[in-house]
Every structure is written in C-alpha cells, then in structure tokens.
Structure 1
Amino acid sequence: MATASESRTDGPARPAPATLHELLGTAARARPQAVAVRGEGTVLTYDELHDKVRATARRFTALGVTEHGTAGLLLENTPDSVVALLAAARLGLRVVPLEPGTPRSQLMAAREKLGPLSVVGHAARLAALDGANDPDPLDCALVPVEDPGGHAPSGDAESDGVTAPDAPFLHQYTSGSTGEPKVAVHTQRNLVNGGDIYARSYGITQDDRILAAVPLLHSFGLVAGLVTALRAGAELVLLGRFTPARLLRALDEHACTVLVAAPMAYDLTTRAAGATSSVPRALRLCLSSGAALPAAVAQRAKVRLGLDIQQVYGCTEAGVIAARRPEDGTGADLGVGRPMPGVRVRVVDERGDEVPHGEEGALLVRTPAMFTHYLGHADATRRAFADGWYLTGDVARLGPEGHLHLVGRKDSFINVGGKKVNPLEVEQVLLAHPSVVEAVVRGETTDDGGERVRASVVARPPLSSTELTSHCRARLLPHQVPAEVDFVASLPKSPMGKVRRAAVRAAPAVRRS
C-alpha cells in the first residue's frame, strides 16, 4: 500500500486494476521480493514474475504469435504456464486454454472454429504433436513456454502492455456435461472481477498461500487460484500432478492457508489419509467446486483437514455465483451458500415473475464476471439471456435467509406420462443403497414418443437390478422408479470429476445376473 508521501509524489491514485497485467504490476510494485508463484523446482517472486512475463511477451511477438492473434495454451499447473498466460494477457491475445494432452485432431477442430492458431505449451508436449504420425499438417505455429535460449529479444519493456480490459480474451470451453461444449468468451475485466469477489468474500490477503490442487485450465482453478492470488498479492502454490500424498505434503511444507480443490480431490485425499494423521497446521480455508460436494465427503474432509469445506457454485459463463462462507456455520438450510458480492439472483416462474422464497423456479443471475457471448453461436447467446439476466438452466429456490438451493437442471427433468421427474431426486435414492457407488439418471424416449426413467449405476457386486429396483419402489413414487438400470464400470467424467451426462448413454453396461 502506498504511503501518504508516496501518494503526494505520484499524484492521483491509480484506477483499480482491470487487466491481469495491471494486477501483476500492482503486486510487483507493492511486494517485489514476495513469492508470487511456487511450483516443483521453481519459485518466482513478484518482481521476477513481472520481468519474465514482459520478456516472454517480447519473445512471443518475435515468434509471430501476435500475428495469429489466438493462442491455444496447453495450460498446465506450472510457473512457465502461468508466465505464458500472463504474457498473452499483456499482449491482448485471444487465449484458449486446452488440455495439455490435446490431440492433433482436436487442435485442428479448434483451428477451424477460431482461425489461425499458435499452440503454446511445454516443449515436450509440442514435440509429441510435431512428431505425431499423421499425414495431415497441423498448420499451427508451435511455441514453447520455456525460453530455449535463456534470453528474450530486446525491446521497450512497457510498449507491449496496452491491453483493452473489455476486449475478448479468454475463450473457455464449457464443460459439455449436458451437451456439446461451446466456447464462452470472457474479457480480462471479467476475470479480475472474479478474483476480487473471492478475495473480498474470504478475506484473502498478501499473507495467504493458496494451493491450487485443481487445473488452472478450468475457471475455478484459474480465477479462485491464480487471479485471486494476483488480486491479493498472495502466494500461489501449484500442485502439478495430483496425488493425495502430494497434496498433504504441499499443505504442510509450504504452510498453505487456502486450498482450492474439486470434490474428487477431497474424496481421494480423505480416503487415502489415515484417521490419526495430524491436520495441516496453517490451513484456514478449503474451497470446493466443479461438481456437487457429497455430504459424506464433506464430513470426512472436515475430520482430516480440520475445517468445514466451503462449497462454491458457479459456471463457466457467469463465474462464481454463490458460496458457503465460514461465518455461515453448518446447517441443513445452507444449500450452495449465499450469492457472492455484486451477484444478483432471481428465481422466476414460467412467465418470468419472481416466486416467493421457498418456492422453486428457474434461476437467473447477473454477475460482475459474466461472459460476453458464445463464439460462433449467436442464437445460443440470445437464448442464454433475458433482459440482461443469464439463464443458468438450473431450477432453484431461495431459503428464508437468502441461501440458494439447487433443485436440478430444467432441461434434464423427465416427463413420464405428464408427470415431471427430477433425476437428482432419483439419484439420491439410488446412492442411499449401500452397494451403490455412483449413479446418473436420465430420460429415455419410448416407442410411443413418451419418456421413461433410466439409470446408469456403478455398484459393488453382487447387487442386482431387481434388488435395486425394489429399493427404489420403497422410497419413490411409481413414475419415478427407473424402468431400466444399467450397471457400468465407470461414468464418463471431466478432469474436474464432473459427470458428463451427455456421454453417459454411451458407457458400456456390465452384465449382472
């Protein structure tokens, strides 16, 4: 923070940062020698990170990345990837975060959608792409995140950083959990606003050390991890490849105060850890997002980590919407938490009128981190908004204290003989059977044009479909009981552990007698 004398010398206070480079510059001026990013074998102070970003931006320019205008970043949880992302932000490039192992076919599909593309990634990843046995040329520039020569081209260090905060920047693929993924376009201001929401809501300051145990590739890791750390001037600790042992070791070795992880990471970590292990000494906040946090996982994590896990609800398009906070305590009526600062929510009926608290309806939101449009999908963009409110597609209700409760997805309700079935209710009953590990319920079209309930279940043998159906009949109305049960070895999931519902019907069934 500037002193009074510094304020008089520098003149009027600078406006609040609106781009990632402004965030970085502010932190570098305030805390040049503080650790900014820590990865395996690499530690960068804010001053070093700032210098490496400027040098990398000049290198990208010299290699022609700016001529393409779009960078497909094979984004990994490494300091070099962070530098590459921030360099692209400094240059005002359009950035498409991609899975590190993205195959050539998907890169070619991305190029068809996005136009000329520079693929930026670790040298080993690029070598695998370049050396792939494929007759079709990739037709993309391959640019390593590492500086192979150790020197960047000379140039004016400040002339390459004039970036419009409201220009299209992050082109984020939606999860595709309920259909074909689309590309949601965000500005840098969107991302900065998202980091500001997390920092203010959870009191994250320069004294915090944030462990990102979720891919920066996804909006939760990117915003709750990297952007929030930049906004607060905090230290970002990158886990890299996740294992429960590595996560617990990093928490202790680096005295991490904030953990950003998906429910799957909490689940695996608490299953692997011994009940007598000590809780991390410095940890004060655990955030979970990317999928629903099962109550059993939350309870195990509380025992192992010594804290309540704060569930965060959001989406690629709108950013963070609602979340639980430590001051909420525990209780049955917390839902996914209260709307975050600056977020407005409405729960409406089919006419668009708001319903009273406690009643269910369609959830509409306005957030400071809202996307601008779907790339190449003008009709989908129009359908996504109603008078400036984003239609989440979720059915929800508001509790008496303003906590948000998700009921289900509007487009996933099943119409059985004119009666609506919420698949989440059926899934909860299936999961209540002690032999059921995972379950997904969907609607299936019948020969007469109607729908019936069908379930895909991961279960421990010798559970039979007859036994499971009897279990459901004792707890559900007749029209809610699955007409068919498919036992599967696993359910298709995203890297965050979220079930890809649109792909469930393709999962091969396991025969059960």
Structure 2
Amino acid sequence: MNLPLLGKFSLDRTLAFDRVRSTTAAQFLADVAALAAQLPARAHVLNDCADRYHFMVGFAAAMKRNQVSLLPSSRVEHVWRQLVQDYPDSYVLTDQRDVPAVAEVMFFPPLEAGESVDLATPGFPEAQLAAVAFTSGSTGRPKPVLKYWGSVAREAQAAGTRLTLDPGRAGAIVATVPPQHMYGFLASVLLPLQFGHAVTRERPFYPEDVRIIAESSPVKPALVITPVQLRACVLERTRLPPLSFVLSSAAPLPSAVAREAETLFEAPVLEFYGSTETGAIASRRHRDTDSWRTFDGVRVRSHTQGFLVEADYFREPVVLSDVVEILNAREFRLVGRDSDLVKIGGKRTSLLYLNQQLQELPGVVDGAFLVEEAKDDREPRLTAFVVAPGQSRDVVLAALRTRIDEVFVPRRLWLVASLPRNAAGKLPREQMLKLLETELAREAASGNT
C-alpha cells in the first residue's frame, strides 16, 4: 500500500517560511522533482542541510529516487567516517560550507522547475526504507535504526491527531530542533508534510531569535523546542507572540518549567515521550498529570528488560530499557532509564530524578549529574555540573540538600559556564566525561600554582 508524501490540503498552502519569504506546497513538489533529477545515482544520502526546507526537499527527492536518508546524531567527522565505512555507496547533500570531507559532496543547488512539472503528490510504499536514524550516543557508540515510510508517516498521523492538528486548517510550526534528530524529523518535517503546517526554515537557538521568528509566522504558530531552550525563554521572560501550543521533547521537561511556561506564554505546554527506536509514542501535559498516555494504536506492557511497546504501525514490538510503572495498556509513569539507576548506601534513585531536582533550584539555569565509573567494587561516585550565574558552590549544595537524600549529594560539584549539550539538547556521556577531565585538570593546575 502506498502512503502519500503530503496530507489532504491545498497545494497553495504555505509549507515553509522565513523572515523574508514563504514557499507553497506546489513549489515544494516542483522543487522535489527538480532536485530528484539531479541527485547522483547512489543508495544512501547523508542529508546535512541546515535549512529545514532544503532538508525536506532533499528527503522527498531521495525518496523519489529510492535513496535512503542517513540521519547521524552529530556532525563530528569521526562519526561520519564510520557511517561512510558502513554505507560506502553514499554521498552528502548539504547547504553548509563546513561539511566534513569524508565522501562525495553535493551542495544544494538552485532549483528551476522544468517546462512540464507534475504536481501530483507522490506516494511511497509503506515498506520502503526511508531513513536510517542513529542512537544519540549518550549510552555508547551510535547504532542504526531503520525507519520505513509506513511507520514514520503513521507515527506523524498519530502524533498530529494527539496535538489536534487539522490538515483542513492552516497552521505553523516554529522549531528550534534540527531536522536530522528524530524529534525534529517528526515535529518539523513529517508533521508539516502530513498536516500542511508551515514550518520555519531557520532554527532559532536563543530566546530573542525564537521571538523574532515566531513573530514572522504567517499564522498563530506552535513552538517546538527542547527543555533547555524553553527554560531559557522562561528565565528571560521572552515576550513571545500568541502560540497555539508549546511542544517539548528530547530530554525530560521539569514540571516547574512547564507550569511557568504555561503561565507566561498562555498556551498549553505538552511533552512527547519516545526513543530513536520507536519514535514518539506518548504525550502528557504537566498541568494535568505526571503520567504518559500513548498515541492511538500504541500499547505498552511490562517486560523483564524494561517495558515493551507495540503499535499498529510497527513492524515488530520494541523493548525499551526505561524503568516505568505500567498503569494500563495506554498509560505509564517514567521512573528512569535502566542505565540511569543509581544505588548508593543501600538506597536507590535515578539520574532523571536527581537532574530534575538540581535544575529546579533557584538560580540554576542548567545542571546535570554524572555517575563516575566505580573502581575496585566500590559504590559509584556522583559528580554534578551546574550553570548558575552569581551562585556559589556552597549555596547550590545547601539548596540541593533540602531536596535529595544526603547519600546522593555529589562528592564534587562544578560551576561551569555551559553544559556540552548537542543540537537536540542531549548530553552525550562522552562529552560529559571530557568536561570532567577539563575541570579536574583546571583544579590540578590551580593547586600547583
């Protein structure tokens, strides 16, 4: 069975915009046809386009050519070299000049429609392999996850239904997340394609940039953002225009931030739960509940290695290692990830809980715990990194002791300018260990002077 690239909406609907231009769905189809005719004959394409519209055109053109889009978790050169080794019949499609030189590069070209452009919306078999995503690397070396067109299209339909999107009504999405990440791929690529919502070509990062781009939206926009960026908007009291809703994912959203954002922006703040392996599968609104409700057609049940997720559009069930409390087949509470569980002094907690407590302290802009490797069968040691301008280490630790058990208070707490979050807001363990090495070296140097 074929599923269409675009949902049921008029082709004169705006599909992408920035501060100076807008692009219709009809132009999108013409650009897809023009680019598809120029793509080299390869099996895989590493879509590195930063302009979200370029990414969308590149993804659709590759689908037309039956090419599989590779979506790495980062732009680090050694990661790309590994991909090229694993997928030798690949090339890079990009609109950026600082592209790692690891394979044949095609820069996104100027596009001109041919004399007779077929504007019929293309459809693709559900079984067509559309993309290969990769785990974020926060728990080890990235692993490939196959994404078939039927699964990602139906995931988008289920997610859009949960968000009450309507292809018959114009909407807009301002997204701060990259399209190569699974959250960004769903919320800023697939949702616009399936529901006809205009999406910003740019990827704002700072709160003021978010405000400027949101104000340029052709209609009242939704804001797709990460918890760290939402916190920044709240702390800076950013004066955003009216929003239809705020959507957060990619990392846990502290309930205090969600509640304050709802009050400040006068819009529902929603959160998606998912993984690279499953895509988004559930949502919640902190104002109403701390439990997650799965999308229509998605079910959960207990499993010895975590919990099992089944969906009408999955090729097979998926086991996730997160520790959850199953309330029923459609609802669950997240306790933490199996790899995040911490046991010290006969007591147990999770990094998820510890990070939330740390991030909700007054004056803390960002923060995270790190479990150092246990040595000689000793219990693990906790270290914390905190971004808290104007705060002292002692003040932060004193506030933290009022919220967590003394056995989980970090042995070392470092005040830093920023945390090494990637473009999706995640904190890869490798980067956190490098940050620890840097702080230890700085401390040693200071002690030797």
Shorter chain as denominator, the TM-score bin is: 0.7 to 0.9
1:203 is displaced (CA, Å) by 1.9
Q: 2:230 — aligned with what?
A: 266
1:113 is displaced (CA, Å) by 1.7
Maintained 8 Å contact 1:91/1:161: no
Q: 1:441 — aligned with what?
A: 369
Q: How many angstroms apart in 2 are the aligned matches of 1:399 and 1:170?
A: 33
Q: 2:214 aligns with which of 248, 251, 262?
A: 251
Q: How many angstroms apart in 2 are the aligned matches of 1:217 and 1:202?
A: 22
1:397 is displaced (CA, Å) by 1.4
- 1:46-445, aligned counterparts within 5 Å? 46-60=25-39, 65-66=40-41, 68-98=42-72, 102=75, 104-122=77-95, 125-126=96-97, 128-129=98-99, 138=101, 140-147=103-110, 150=112, 163-206=124-167, 207-213=169-175, 214-253=177-216, 254-273=218-237, 277=239, 280-281=241-242, 283-324=243-284, 330-331=287-288, 334-348=289-303, 350=304, 362-368=306-312, 370=314, 388-399=316-327, 403-416=331-344, 419-431=347-359, 433-434=361-362, 436-445=364-373
1:118 is displaced (CA, Å) by 1.1
- Using the size of structure 2 for normalisation, the TM-score is 0.85
Are the structure 2 counterparts of residues 69 and 259 from structure 1 closer, same or farther at C-alpha, using a change threshold of 3 Å?
Answer: same
- 1:425-504, aligned counterparts within 5 Å? 425-431=353-359, 433-434=361-362, 436-458=364-386, 459-460=388-389, 463-464=392-393, 476-477=404-405, 479-504=407-432
Are the structure 2 counterparts of residues 405 and 439 from structure 1 closer, same or farther at C-alpha, using a change threshold of 3 Å?
Answer: same
Question: What amino acid does structure 1 have at the position aligned with 2:220?
Answer: C
Are the structure 2 counterparts of residues 461 and 364 from structure 1 closer, same or farther at C-alpha, using a change threshold of 3 Å?
Answer: same
Maintained 8 Å contact 1:173/1:182: yes
Q: How many angstroms apart in 1 are the aligned matches of 2:220 and 2:419?
A: 33
Question: What amino acid does structure 2 have at the position aligned with 1:344?
Answer: R
SS of residue paired to 2:228:
helix
- Using the size of structure 1 for normalisation, the TM-score is 0.75
Q: 1:38 aligns with which of 14, 17, 29?
A: 17
SS of residue paired to 1:75:
coil
1:221 is displaced (CA, Å) by 1.7
Q: Which runs of 5+ in 2 are unaligned?
A: none
Q: How many angstroms apart in 1 are the aligned matches of 2:432 and 2:77?
A: 25
Q: How many angstroms apart in 2 are the aligned matches of 1:273 and 1:478?
A: 34
Q: How many angstroms apart in 2 are the aligned matches of 1:267 and 1:420?
A: 28
CA offsets, 1:19-50, max 9 Å, x none?
Answer: xxx223x54xx512222222354422222211
1:53 is displaced (CA, Å) by 0.8
1:410 is displaced (CA, Å) by 0.9
1:475 is displaced (CA, Å) by 5.2
1:166 is displaced (CA, Å) by 1.3
CA offsets, 1:347-381, max 9 Å, x none?
Answer: 34x4x7xxxxxxxxx332123565x7xxxxxxxxx
1:193 is displaced (CA, Å) by 0.9
SS of residue paired to 1:482:
coil
Question: What amino acid does structure 2 have at the position aligned with 1:113?
Answer: D
Alpha-carbon RMSD across the aligned residues, in angstroms, is 3.4
Maintained 8 Å contact 1:58/1:160: no
Question: What amino acid does structure 2 have at the position aligned with 1:427?
Answer: N
Are the structure 2 counterparts of residues 438 and 104 from structure 1 closer, same or farther at C-alpha, using a change threshold of 3 Å?
Answer: closer
- Highest CA radius of gyration, 1 or 2? 1
Q: How many angstroms apart in 2 are the aligned matches of 1:107 and 1:400?
A: 41
- % of aligned pairs identical? 21
1:91 is displaced (CA, Å) by 1.4
Maintained 8 Å contact 1:212/1:221: no
Maintained 8 Å contact 2:252/2:352: no
1:403 is displaced (CA, Å) by 4.1
Are the structure 2 counterparts of residues 194 and 419 from structure 1 closer, same or farther at C-alpha, using a change threshold of 3 Å?
Answer: same
Question: What amino acid does structure 1 have at the position aligned with 2:385?
Answer: V
Are the structure 2 counterparts of residues 86 and 41 from structure 1 closer, same or farther at C-alpha, using a change threshold of 3 Å?
Answer: farther
Q: Which runs of 5+ in 1 are unaligned?
A: 1-14, 133-137, 353-361, 373-387
1:178 is displaced (CA, Å) by 2.4
1:163 is displaced (CA, Å) by 4.6
Are the structure 2 counterparts of residues 444 and 240 from structure 1 closer, same or farther at C-alpha, using a change threshold of 3 Å?
Answer: closer
Q: How many angstroms apart in 1 are the aligned matches of 2:117 and 2:360?
A: 63
